[in-house]
């Protein structure tokens, strides 16, 4: 256990053994034992109570080796307090400033507290939308957009091992990408992570992927589901021409095809031969679980 006593401002921020126990689904006695055995760092208050820094809770949560995880009762950071509805604006600012540490902390807290759908839909999608608007209205240059996107992607890639530990059914295989000439990659990476969280063994092939590569990968990997996330493509007819024949062959093999993204409407989705179309990434999970009509 770390030595030293806490100040009153630390005490406001740090967590009690009971709070940590509740968040991790173990008893307070277990948490106290972990502290005493040196498995969990903590400080003692002047009154002798154990106080755990929020980072330690995050470290344990990240390990994925706790009976259950419910961080909803725990305030993890000052910027999370009073930030309701403004989180995405904060994330946008951190990404544009290149403040990796704070952006990562915000994203990680959302992921651990509310799961990947909330991270994708409540934080990243609106933050990236704001970045797009800032670029469109000349508040930022395209280089800022590139930098912010790369930062966002690199933070997300750090969460991938944590998501892959959630694969409970490796025989459920999914493969997806953004199509040729579409270099937007965040949505497709998030789709992979969401399927992982739902227990699937999902592979994201990247952005700018040709129909041939998607077909070869899906067949080789034995995919049951293929997703396409399209944000900006040359034209609808191009997408139908390029991907239609391949998706038809994949469907004939019994593979489910799911589409989504800003460049695909339900009508286009039907034209390229998909089984399902969704407007939100969480629709993909409903489709994967068979909870959405085709």
Site residues for ligand B12 per CB under 6 A: 120-121, 124-125, 128-129, 131-133, 136, 142, 145-146, 149, 181-187, 190-191, 207, 227, 229, 231-232, 258-262, 278, 280-281, 283-284
Angle made by CA atoms 137, 142, 147, in degrees to the nearest 5: 125
Q: Which residue is nearest to ligand B12 (CB)?
A: 260
| 21 membership: H or E segment, kind and range | helix 17-24
**Are the C-beta atoms of residues 179 and 242 closer than 8 Å to each other?**
yes
**What are the tokens at 253?**
């093999």
Q: What is the number of residues in the chain?
A: 294
With respect to ligand B12, which residue has the nearer C-beta, 40 or 152?
152
Smallest gap from Cβ 229 to ligand B12, in A, equals 3
Question: Would you give the end-to-end CA distance of the chain in angstroms?
Answer: 55
Least distance between ligand B12 and beta carbon 5 (Å): 45
Nearer to ligand B12, 76 or 190 (CB): 190
d(CA 176, CA 69): 29
Q: Are 52 and 24 in contact (CB under 8 A)?
A: no
**Do residues 130 and 93 lie in contact, with contact meaning Cβ atoms separated by under 8 Å?**
no
Name 212's Cβ contacts closer than 8 Å, sequence gap at least 6.
246
Shortest gap between Cβ of 188 and ligand B12 (angstroms)?
Answer: 7
> What is the closest distance, in whole angstroms, from the C-beta atom of residue 163 to ligand B12 in the complex?
15
CB of 277 to ligand B12, least distance (A): 7
CB of 240 to ligand B12, least distance (A): 17
Sign of CA dihedral 259, 150, 202, 114: negative
Smallest gap from Cβ 176 to ligand B12, in A, equals 7
Nearer to ligand B12, 31 or 120 (CB): 120
CA angle 122, 124, 127 (to 5 degrees): 95
Residues whose CB falls within 8 Å of the CB of residue 9, separated by 6 or more in sequence, listed in order: none
Q: 3-state DSSP call for residue 6?
A: coil
Buried b (16+ CB within 10 A) or exposed e, 115-131: ebbebbbebbbbbbebb
CB of 152 to ligand B12, least distance (A): 8
């Amino acid at each position: 256990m770390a030595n030293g006593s806490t100040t009153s401002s630390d005490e406001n921020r740090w967590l009690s053994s009971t709070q940590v126990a509740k968040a991790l689904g173990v008893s307070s006695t277990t948490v106290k034992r972990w502290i005493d055995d040196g498995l969990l760092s903590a400080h003692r208050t002047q009154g002798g109570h154990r106080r755990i820094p929020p980072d330690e809770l995050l470290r344990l949560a990240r390990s994925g080796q706790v009976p259950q995880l419910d961080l909803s009762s725990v305030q993890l950071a000052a910027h999370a307090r009073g930030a309701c509805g403004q989180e995405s604006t904060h994330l946008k600012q951190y990404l544009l400033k290149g403040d990796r540490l704070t952006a990562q902390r915000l994203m990680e807290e959302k992921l651990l507290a509310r799961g990947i759908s909330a991270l994708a839909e409540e934080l990243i999608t609106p933050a990236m939308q704001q970045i797009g608007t800032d670029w469109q209205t000349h508040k930022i240059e395209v280089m800022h957009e590139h930098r912010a996107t790369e930062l966002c992607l690199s933070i997300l890639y750090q969460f991938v091992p944590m998501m892959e530990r959630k694969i409970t059914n490796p025989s459920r295989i999914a493969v997806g990408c953004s199509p040729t000439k579409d270099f937007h990659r965040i949505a497709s990476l998030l789709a992979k992570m969401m399927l992982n969280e739902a227990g699937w063994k999902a592979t994201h092939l990247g952005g700018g992927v040709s129909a041939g590569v998607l077909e070869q990968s899906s067949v080789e990997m034995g995919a049951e589901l293929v997703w396409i996330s399209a944000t900006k493509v040359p034209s609808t007819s191009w997408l139908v021409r390029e991907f239609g024949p391949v998706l038809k062959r994949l469907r004939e093999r019994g593979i489910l095809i799911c589409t989504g993204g800003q460049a695909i409407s339900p009508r286009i989705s039907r034209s390229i031969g998909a089984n399902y179309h969704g407007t939100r990434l969480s629709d993909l999970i409903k489709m994967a679980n068979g909870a959405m009509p085709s």
